[in-house]
Amino acid sequence: MFPRPSPATLSDAVLPMTSNPWRLSVAPMMDWTDQHCRYFHRLLSRHALLYTEMVTTGALIHGDVGRHLRFNAEEHPLALQLGGSEPADLAHCAKLGEQWGYDEINLNCGCPSERVQRGSFGACLMAEPQLVADCVKAMVDVVSVPVTVKHRIGIDKTESYEFVRDFVGAVSEAGCKVFAVHARNAWLKGLSPKENREVPPLRYELVYRLKREFPGLTIAVNGGITTGKQVAGQLEQLDGVMIGREAYHNPWWLASWDSEFFSAAASESTRESVEEQMVAYMAREAAEHGTPWSAIARHMLGLRHGLPGARRWRQVWSDHRLKTLHPRDVMALAHGAVQEAA
């Protein structure tokens, strides 16, 4: 069992400089937003809300809890996203999440993958708003942290606003006050998860209607947002913005978030200083948990996005033939490759 952060450590965690922690967040992304990715993102933004990748109730009930819930105290504010559809199981796992120190429990009602559908959760849950309401109430009853829901605006080719309105209405009555809305439908058949992020049209106007109809709820939008100007525009209409793949592929963007959207001092970090801190983290993870540096470095390959020599830098950090080297030696090789490319 991995140790969870101590209460003393959690009390020192950096919290957002706003009463609305959902103002800007990095979306939960399967196979991407693990604890190493989140540690990296926290070096770039001290205030953005971070989410775990989805953890199923089955994985926590029948698997290694520590492996799934371990995180670094520096990652706060941090939300645990759960996947499941049994109220009792979700209540048990939500309680585990709170005990481990997560700041929020989020229920996945947006993933369209067939694997998730076979487990009867994810986006297909939107067809059963009362079941989702029961799941939310079961979690709300046992934890004191916020219970939130991430969902789509619809499923398959049903483009009725009333569908998502009734879903949000039913779930909010069960105690959910925060909704992260991916502004696309989820097509449960015929599209891959990747296509589901691109093919169904974005319809932000439905999310705006939700906010107008439910002014007392916190509504954040997700999907297709890739620039600071777009974020600012969405915040004129909504309470928050959730950024997905752009944050992962172009992580240096996060370094501007605190000053631009949280009224905090501008970051004094450089790409080089962040890379240095990641190398120290890699060494620590290797010593304490046997984590290979490559499992961590994969998340920072976009750090030099758009700079001369970025391709050669990425090639070095992703070269598994170097896996026996200390990460500091790999960093030296990467910097040498950048100089050669220049």
Please list the active-site residues.
Answer: 111
Kindly report the length of the chain: 342
* 49 membership: H or E segment, kind and range: strand 49-51
How far CA 242 is from CA of 34, 49, 140, 224, 226, in Å, comes to: 17, 9, 23, 10, 10
How far CA 72 is from CA of 36, 206, 247, in Å, comes to: 9, 37, 20
Give the burial class of 212: count Cβ atoms within 10 A of its Cβ; 0-12 exposed, 13-18 middle, 19 or more buried.
Answer: exposed
* 164 membership: H or E segment, kind and range: helix 161-173
How far CA 206 is from CA of 70, 200, 223, in Å, comes to: 37, 14, 13
* 151 membership: H or E segment, kind and range: strand 147-155
Signed CA dihedral, 57, 59, 65, 66: sign only: negative
Question: Is 107:148 a contact under the CB 8 Å cutoff?
Answer: yes
Of 200, 268, 260, the residue nearest 232 (C-alpha): 260
* 55 membership: H or E segment, kind and range: strand 55-56
Angle between helices 129-140 and 87-100 in degrees, nearest 10: 40
Residues paired with 198 in a beta bridge: none
Question: Is 95:121 a contact under the CB 8 Å cutoff?
Answer: no
Under DSSP, the state recorded for 230 is H
CA distance 20 to 180: 13
